[in-house]
């Protein structure tokens, strides 16, 4: 194509091309990045504006840094001071002084600071003692407008500097801090662990069943010339046309009759047969040279043996494709589990169902929901990346999503 | 080892002509039988019927004393080498050769012994642990043969086994197969479309056309005494020159006239084709093999000489092929020219003369060719039957 | 044929004649059992059996009776086809009896309960997986060098790991409870009876299947092929019948009934369900405020229209369904181009085989495999009105652009009925375009390269090449992509289920879809008959799209190429 041309104009075109591709890739990747970041955030961190991709936690320093013992201390910055401060005491009595000559000048000091001058002044009809306080080396006269409790901040740079201040006027320092406990919490507390193993169990059995039935059926359709074969094959092809919603109600009724409702078996047995997989395997087997099979026939092998010892080893790519499709379909399916696992007993939940319950309209633990979502999305994406070759090559000819 | 015999075997499909029509053919125990014919002649179908890969629509097929019509392929104890070798791609050479034995539940030691033996015989010993994709064409071909011989079957079947090889390798494998068959003494049925292979390899050759058996005979017999026009045209390279001609009798000598040429036929030819005198005054087809032409010398009988313009000449070193055209339409059989590359609607027929290598023939040069008329063949123009009494079309 | 006999000499075998006599006896028993079963199913007052199953039992039993009798006669007279009949009967009986046995043993429900054991034994399971991967890697190495000692050892070690981990796995799943329950159930008379039937029919099958029996009956190769073909296909075919074809017919039947999941009121209502769903009433009105009063009774206002200066009130009996239909068509019109056009453009770029295209292709594909629930949850957060990324990015963008006024506050995408459906369109398109891109890429591969080369020699521009060669050559692919995407779009459910607020389909039914309506009718309002009718209506709509695709696919399939 023209992008292969050379010259300055072609270079421009190429840059533009990559620009478009990267832009779209960003649109695709960004939501996943948001998901991963949210899954390791603290819940308070999620609902801050502006949104951020970086999970944060409060910065702390060991108590020993400021010559104390005990738990780690949170770190703050203080307005008007350089450097960071550790909050060494959050229960320090504080006094708020207001300058006499300038009522807007308010200074917070430790409660025991300031010298009583012995004079008083009348503020709003109240007698207040006048204090002499030292601010930035200057002594000013002020009255004590409020007594409160606040924090004592110890500078991390200057051991001599201790600043008493109101905690809410200090800014807590934050640093990069993913919270991986989200994952363990969602697995244990929200029972995602059980859903995960349930999903895995269902997926494995469905995929194995599909492979087995598709190999057998595909081989019969491809290589055994029996009466009624073409009619049956057309029926199979036609069945791909039927949308699943048409089957939902009768299958539900059937599951009721079999007493399979709320049981994982309802997610397994009806889905171990696939017209699509049979079709895929048939297409592959049709393409295997007939002579190989005839040679095996002459070698005395039965059809059964030919299938398993000659055809199946050759069909590995097709089987891998089928397994990948089956895996993704079974792992991600939602509508049918929603219908048939409906008693609210989480022991039969699969991941998609748990997630929808967990992340539903009344959800609160957004970080846990996202941890669950990441758990649910990782296996199919990983399987896709591993099996990409089979998957991308065959989705085109599959005719099924 | 056993004989194979077809008795009135027919293969017909629902809609379409019979692939094999009333085939009766006895292949003796230990014989190397070649089935030859143009594509679609039914030779492969016949072979696959022996293998059991094609159902038999009518007649009986026997291997040894057993009628095998309804016996599945695996129970017939035959081995087959396919044109594309049909090796199992996922098995090593050893596993490929030993597969039949594995299926038959032969002990592991025995399998190893026999596969080693077969590999040794075919010079594959150092390749036994390779996969087919790591082998050359000739080696794959050998593996396919190894797979056949390891079972010591009653009959070997080979379906154009050499056609995927290059020319040089083909010649080499040809002699190897002949040697192998002679050594093992197993009955062999070999299908090919290449008449050179057929002539060089078979004890006997069966020529087929459109499902019908034309002639079964040792190679030399086929060449010297073709049973009909088709066999005459098919066997030999370059092919026999076939020309429509009129038979006359001049002074008690039989002459044949085609276009402006008239030649007098040697009595030896009339002795072989004893019906020719009955055809005086009628049109027949005469056949002259290219080697039965020679550059005319001064001593040549003018009555057996023709003058003709050379169109092309090909020097082969030891001999020169002189191509010329004769103004007669090409001989046809069932509406198709017998010579495969002839144009059915042409008004001239190409002939090829094979003369000795020292002659220099230029394009467009008029050459005088002497014909060894003792070796001329005669066929009925409509039926294609040879004008002989002793029709030996027996199998 | 020495050396090729399959059976070792001296192996004990049942003779043909006594064996056939036993099989005949078995068929006689079968015929009698079938008769009894017909009688039981016909007994009056057998109300607890649902109609369909009762009918199935009757038909099946009657068929079994006839077939058994035929088999007895045929086997007795050694008629060629009798072997096929006997095999078919025995096989079907075997399948039904085996399923019944497993059901009686509680096997199927035990699969579900196995979830707990599997959860407990998850760690050993992971070890099994590691072992299998190990074996797989060794296998890959061996396929290159089949006799290399290293990989062979590796493979053995892998299998060893699998074996050890499997034992550990079994122990951790604590199977003793299940085994004792199974044993307990095994010794019930009914279980033993069906088990006996299973074993007998299996034995009869095995006996009749043997080659010597085939020869005895003179079975032809064609019959043999039919038998083995159906045998190979049978697991598939049984599933197909039981879980697809049967339910499909049943669904059609149910759609003609006023059918509840529970309760006995299952009245045949004919086409009423369909009529109710599809009924519309157009009524002209003088003013824009006219409502239900101008419509026929039972109808509710669907929408107001102003056509030709006349005000119309459109009413429907099932307003939700019609709203859903309207929504889905708006969705279709927006979402399909949004999911297809980018795919067309991107695939044209990717097809140029520049460096790194495979990476981009893989990236674009990821949303379609990630799972719709997770994806919807992510987008729910992105669309969040106060702290969502979308509003934030819009604001930042507006700040950068000189002529745009940054919005004062974030737009509530999902809770505003004018944009909720649009948000679904975005999510749908984001999920599907990658798959479509890959479909298009396959289409690109079938365009002859010479066309591009010729066009370049002719001096065509990139756009001209795209417009005049790529697009027309991709016509078939486009058609296919459009149809498959439309089918998916018409079945929209999952995204809406997660994203719509405050309740599914909200706000104010702005995102209700037909499948959602169907779900609510069937599983929340419990009117499964009506819901089935909705399903079939939806099917007919989808059928219109699918039919073309089906024909195209059939042409490809019957051409027999390998994919």
CB count within 10 Å of CB A188 equals: 11
C316 close to C290: Cβ distance less than 8 angstroms: no
The pLDDT confidence band at residue C1, using thresholds 50, 70 and 90, is very low
Asked if A301's CB is within 8 angstroms of B103's CB, the reply is yes
Best CA proximity match to B57, nearest among B6, B12, B5, B8: B12
Q: What is the predicted pLDDT for the residue at A401? A: 30
Find chain C residues with C-beta within 8 A of B90's C-beta. Answer: 143
Residue B53, chain A, CB below 8 Å: the answer is yes
Most trustworthy range by pLDDT among A306-310, B1-5, B248-252, C308-312: A306-310
Q: Is it the case that residue A30 has pLDDT exceeding 90?
A: yes
CA distance linking residue B29 with residue B46, whole number of Å: 18
Q: Assess whether pLDDT exceeds 60 at residue C78.
A: yes
Q: With an 8 Å Cβ cutoff, are C364 and A263 in contact? A: no
- Say if residue A384's pLDDT is above 70: yes
Calculate the alpha carbon distances from C487 to B44, B212, B302, C429, C498 in Å: 49, 57, 88, 14, 20
- For the record, the structure tokens of A401 come out as 């999503």
* Chains near C (3 or more Cβ pairs under 8 Å): A, B
DSSP B239: P
Model confidence at A394, pLDDT cuts 50, 70, 90, reads low
Please tell me the predicted confidence (pLDDT) of residue B116.
93
pLDDT score of A235 more than 70: yes
- The two tokens of residue B349 are 């027929």
Give the angle subtended at the CA of C71 by the CAs of C69 and C73, to the nearest 5°: 70
Q: What is the mean pLDDT of chain A?
A: 85
Measured over the CA atoms of residue C133, residue C137, residue C140 and residue C145, the dihedral's sign is: negative
Burial class (CB in 10 A: 0-12, 13-18, 19+), B247: buried
Q: Which of B224, B275, B227, B233 is nearest to B254 (CA)?
A: B275
Instruction: Answer yes or no: are the C-beta atoms of B56 and B133 closer than 8 Å.
Output: no
Q: Cα–Cα distance between C368 and C343 in angstroms, integer?
A: 13
Which residue of chain C has the CA closest to B89?
Answer: C143
Q: Band the pLDDT of C550: cuts 50, 70, 90.
A: low
pTM of the predicted structure, to 2 decimals: 0.85
Mean pLDDT of A350-358: 89
Q: Which long-range contacts (CB under 8 A, 24 or more apart) does C68-77 make?
A: C68/C27, C68/C28, C68/C30, C68/C31, C68/C34, C69/C27, C69/C31, C71/C23, C71/C24, C71/C27, C72/C24, C72/C27, C72/C28, C72/C31, C75/C20, C75/C23, C75/C24, C75/C27, C76/C24
In terms of average pLDDT, the best of A328-342, A385-399, B299-313 is: A328-342
Q: Does A226 touch chain B (CB under 8 A)?
A: no
pLDDT at C557: 54
* Predicted local distance difference test score (pLDDT) of residue C222: 80
For an interface test with C, which of B13, B67, B75, B93 has the most C Cβ atoms less than 10 Å from its Cβ? B75
CB contact under 8 A, A294 and B53: yes
> C360: closest CA among C342, C341, C339?
C342
CB contact set of A348 (below 8 Å; sequence gap of 6+): A198, A262, A263, A264, A341, C112, C115
Which tens digits make up the pLDDT trace of C97-139? 899 898 888 888 888 778 888 888 889 999 999 999 888 888 8
Q: C307 vs B116, which has greater pLDDT?
A: B116
Residue of A331, A340, A335, A330 whose CA lies nearest to A356: A335
The pLDDT of C34-42, averaged and rounded, is 78
C146 vs B104, B129, B154: nearest CB: B129
Regions of chain B with pLDDT less than 70:
1, 340-341, 390-395
pLDDT at residue number C10: 42
pLDDT of A209 over the 90 cut: yes
C345 closest CA partner among A29, A6, A21:
A21
- With an 8 Å Cβ cutoff, is C487 touching chain A? yes
Q: Higher model confidence: residue C269 or residue A331?
A: A331
- Measured between beta carbons, which residues in chain B are less than 8 angstroms from residue C211? 72
Chain B touching partners, 3 or more CB pairs below 8 A: A, C
Encode pLDDT of C529-547 as tens digits.
899 999 999 999 888 877 7
Percent of chain C, pLDDT > 90? 24
Q: What would the pLDDT profile of A162-207 be if each residue is shown by its tens digit?
A: 888 887 778 888 888 888 888 888 888 888 888 999 999 999 999 9
C11-23: per-residue pLDDT in tens? Answer: 456 788 888 888 8
CB contact under 8 A, C146 and B131: yes
Cα–Cα distance for residue pair B349/B234, rounded to 1 Å: 16
Cα separation of B363 and B314, whole Å?
A: 10
Decide if pLDDT at A397 tops 60.
no
Q: Does A288 touch chain B (CB under 8 A)?
A: no
| Residues 355-394 (C) with a CB less than 8 A from some CB of A | 360-375, 377-382, 386-389, 392
The complex scores an ipTM of: 0.86
Q: Give CA separation, C322 vs C61, C281, C318, C511, in Å.
A: 45, 12, 7, 12
Q: What is the mean pLDDT of residues A117-121?
A: 79
**B75 vs C contacts (CB less than 8 Å):** 1, 4
| Inter-residue contact A42 to A179 (CB < 8 Å) | yes
**C1 with B76: Cβ contact below 8 A:** yes
A50 upstream amide cis, omega within 30 of 0: yes
Q: At what angle do helices A388-398 and C357-369 cross, to 10 degrees?
A: 70
Give me the pLDDT at residue A1, please. Answer: 44
Pairwise pLDDT comparison (A163 vs C383), residue with the higher score: C383
C225-254 residues touching A, CB cutoff 8 A:
225-230, 232-240, 243-248, 250-251, 254
The encoded tokens of residue C120 equal 């407990």
Cis amide prior to B154 (ω within 30 degrees): no
The Cβ-side half-sphere exposure at C385, using a 13 Å CA radius, reads 12
Which runs of E-coded beta strand occur in A26-66? 56-58, 60-61
C-beta atoms surrounding C149 within 10 Å: 8
Contact flag A47-C386 (C-beta cutoff 8 Å): yes
Q: How far is CA B136 from CA B176, C148, C230, in A?
A: 17, 21, 40
Contact call for residues B344 and B337 (beta carbons, < 8 A): yes
pLDDT score at B394: 40
Candidates C6, C146, C222; nearest CB to B92: C146
């Amino acid at each position: 194509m023209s992008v292969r041309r050379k010259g300055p104009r072609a270079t421009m075109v190429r840059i533009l091309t990559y620009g478009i591709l990267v832009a779209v890739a960003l649109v695709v990747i960004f939501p996943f990045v948001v998901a991963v970041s949210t899954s390791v955030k603290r819940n308070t961190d999620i609902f801050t504006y502006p949104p951020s991709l970086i999970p944060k936690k409060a910065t702390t320093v060991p108590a020993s840094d400021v010559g104390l013992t005990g738990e780690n201390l949170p770190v703050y910055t203080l307005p008007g001071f350089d450097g960071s401060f550790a909050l060494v005491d959050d229960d320090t009595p504080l006094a708020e002084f207001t300058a006499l000559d300038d009522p807007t000048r308010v200074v917070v000091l430790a409660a025991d600071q300031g010298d009583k001058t012995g004079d008083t002044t009348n503020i709003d009809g109240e007698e207040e003692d006048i204090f002499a306080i030292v601010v930035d080396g200057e002594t000013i006269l002020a009255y004590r407008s409020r007594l409160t409790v606040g924090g004592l901040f110890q500078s991390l740079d200057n051991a001599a500097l201790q600043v008493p201040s109101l905690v809410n006027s200090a800014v807590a320092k934050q640093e990069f801090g993913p919270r991986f406990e989200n994952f363990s919490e969602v697995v244990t507390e929200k029972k995602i662990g059980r859903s995960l193993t349930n999903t895995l169990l269902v997926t494995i059995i469905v995929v194995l069943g599909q492979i087995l039935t598709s190999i057998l059926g595909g081989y019969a359709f491809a290589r055994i010339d029996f009466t009624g074969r073409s009619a049956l094959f057309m029926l199979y092809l036609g069945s791909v046309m039927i949308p699943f919603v048409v089957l939902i109600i009768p299958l539900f009724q059937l599951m009721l009759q079999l007493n399979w409702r709320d049981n994982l078996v309802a997610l397994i047995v009806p889905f171990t047969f696939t017209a699509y997989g049979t079709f895929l395997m048939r297409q592959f087997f049709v393409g295997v040279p007939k002579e190989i099979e005839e040679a095996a026939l002459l070698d005395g092998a039965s059809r059964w043996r030919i299938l398993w010892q000659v055809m199946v080893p050759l069909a590995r790519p097709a089987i891998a494709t089928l397994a990948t499709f089956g895996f993704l379909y079974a792992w991600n399916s939602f509508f049918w589990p929603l219908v048939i696992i409906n008693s609210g007993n989480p022991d039969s939940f699969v991941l998609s169902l748990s997630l929808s319950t967990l992340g539903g309209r009344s959800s609160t633990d957004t970080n846990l929901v996202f941890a669950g979502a990441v758990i649910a999305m990782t296996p199919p994406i990983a399987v896709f990346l591993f099996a990409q070759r089979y998957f991308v090559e065959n989705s085109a000819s599959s005719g099924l999503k | 080892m056993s004989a194979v015999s077809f008795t009135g075997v027919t293969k017909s499909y629902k809609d379409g002509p019979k692939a094999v029509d009333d085939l009766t053919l006895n292949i003796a125990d230990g014989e190397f039988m070649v089935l030859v014919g143009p594509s679609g002649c039914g030779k492969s179908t016949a072979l696959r019927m022996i293998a059991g890969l094609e159902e038999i629509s009518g007649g009986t097929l026997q291997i040894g004393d057993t009628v095998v019509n309804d016996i599945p392929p695996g129970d017939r104890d035959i081995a087959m080498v396919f044109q594309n070798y049909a090796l199992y791609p996922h098995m090593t050479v050893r596993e490929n050769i030993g597969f039949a034995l594995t299926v038959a539940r032969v002990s592991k030691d025995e399998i190893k012994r026999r596969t080693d033996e077969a590999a040794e015989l075919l010079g594959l010993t150092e390749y036994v642990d390779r996969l087919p994709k790591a082998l050359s064409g000739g080696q794959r071909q050998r593996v396919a043969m190894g797979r056949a011989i390891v079972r010591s079957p009653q009959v070997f079947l080979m379906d154009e086994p050499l056609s995927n090889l290059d020319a040089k390798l083909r010649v080499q494998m040809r002699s190897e197969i002949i040697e192998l068959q002679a050594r093992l003494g197993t009955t062999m049925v070999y299908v090919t479309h290449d008449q050179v292979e057929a002539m060089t390899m078979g004890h006997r050759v069966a020529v087929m056309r459109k499902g019908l058996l034309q002639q079964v005979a040792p190679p030399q017999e086929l060449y010297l005494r073709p049973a009909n026009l088709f066999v005459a045209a098919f066997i030999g390279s370059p092919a026999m020159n076939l020309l429509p001609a009129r038979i006359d009798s001049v002074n008690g000598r039989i002459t044949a006239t085609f276009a402006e040429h008239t030649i007098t036929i040697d009595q030896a030819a009339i002795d072989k084709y004893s019906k020719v005198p009955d055809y005086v005054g009628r049109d027949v087809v005469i056949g002259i093999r290219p080697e039965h032409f020679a550059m005319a010398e001064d001593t040549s009988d003018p009555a057996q000489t023709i003058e003709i313009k050379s169109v092309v000449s090909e020097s082969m070193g030891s001999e020169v092929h002189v191509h010329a055209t004769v103004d007669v339409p090409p001989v046809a059989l069932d509406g198709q020219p017998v010579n495969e590359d002839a144009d059915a609607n042409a008004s001239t027929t190409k002939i090829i003369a094979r003369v000795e290598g020292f002659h220099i023939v230029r394009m467009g040069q008029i050459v005088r060719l002497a014909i060894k008329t003792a070796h001329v063949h005669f066929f009925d123009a409509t039926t294609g039957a040879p004008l002989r009494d002793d029709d030996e079309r027996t199998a | 044929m020495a050396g090729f006999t399959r059976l070792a000499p001296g192996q004990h075998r049942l003779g043909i004649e006594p064996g056939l006599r036993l099989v005949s006896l078995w068929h006689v028993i079968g015929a009698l059992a079938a008769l009894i079963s017909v009688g039981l199913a016909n007994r009056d007052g057998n109300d607890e059996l649902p109609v369909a199953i009762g009918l199935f039992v009757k038909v099946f039993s009657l068929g079994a009776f006839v077939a058994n009798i035929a088999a007895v006669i045929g086997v007795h007279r050694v008629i060629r086809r009798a072997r096929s009949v006997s095999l078919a009967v025995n096989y079907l009986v075997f399948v039904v009896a085996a399923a019944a046995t497993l059901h009686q043993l509680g096997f199927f429900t035990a699969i579900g309960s196995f979830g707990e054991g599997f959860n407990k034994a998850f760690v050993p399971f992971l070890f099994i997986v590691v072992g299998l991967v190990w074996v797989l890697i060794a296998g890959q190495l061996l396929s290159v060098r089949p006799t290399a000692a290293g990989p062979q050892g590796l493979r053995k070690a892998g299998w060893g790991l699998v074996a050890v981990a499997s034992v550990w796995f079994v122990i951790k799943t604590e199977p003793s409870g299940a085994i004792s329950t199974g044993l307990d159930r095994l010794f019930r008379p009914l279980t033993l009876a069906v088990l006996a039937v299973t074993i007998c029919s299996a034995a009869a099958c095995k006996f009749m299947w043997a080659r010597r029996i085939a020869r005895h009956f003179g079975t032809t190769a064609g019959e043999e092929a039919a038998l083995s073909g159906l045998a190979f296909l049978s697991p598939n075919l049984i599933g197909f019948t039981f879980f697809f074809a049967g339910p499909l017919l049943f669904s059609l039947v149910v759609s003609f009934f006023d059918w509840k999941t529970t309760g006995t009121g299952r009245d045949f209502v004919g086409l009423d369900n369909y009529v109710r769903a599809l009924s519309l009433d157009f009524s002209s009105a003088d003013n824009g405020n006219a409502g239900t009063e101008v419509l026929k009774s039972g109808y509710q206002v669907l929408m107001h229209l102003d056509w030709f200066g006349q005000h119309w009130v459109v009413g429907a009996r099932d307003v939700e369904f019609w709203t859903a239909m309207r929504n889905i068509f708006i969705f279709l019109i927006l979402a399909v181009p949004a999911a297809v056009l980018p795919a067309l453009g991107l695939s044209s770029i990717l097809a140029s085989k520049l460096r790194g295209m495979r990476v981009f292709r893989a990236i674009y594909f990821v949303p379609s495999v990630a799972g719709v629930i997770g994806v919807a949850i992510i987008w729910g957060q992105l669309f969040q009105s106060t702290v969502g990324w979308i509003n934030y990015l819009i604001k930042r963008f507006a700040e950068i652009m000189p002529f745009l006024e940054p919005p004062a506050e974030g737009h509530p995408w999902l809770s505003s009925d004018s944009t909720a459906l649009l948000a679904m369109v975005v999510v749908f398109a984001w999920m599907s375009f990658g798959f479509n891109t890959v479909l298009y890429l396959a289409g690109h591969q079938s365009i002859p390269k010479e066309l591009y080369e010729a066009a370049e020699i002719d001096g065509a521009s990139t756009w001209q090449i795209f417009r005049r060669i790529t697009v027309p050559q991709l016509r078939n692919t486009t058609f296919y992509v459009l149809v498959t995407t439309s089918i998916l779009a018409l079945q929209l459910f999952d995204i809406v289920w997660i994203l719509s607020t405050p309740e599914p389909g909200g706000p104010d039914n702005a995102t209700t879809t037909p499948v959602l309506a169907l779900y609510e009718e069937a599983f929340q309002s419990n009117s499964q008959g009506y819901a089935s009718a909705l399903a079939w209506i939806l099917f007919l709509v989808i059928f219109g799209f699918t039919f073309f695709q089906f024909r195209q696919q059939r042409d490809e399939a019957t051409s027999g190429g390998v994919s």
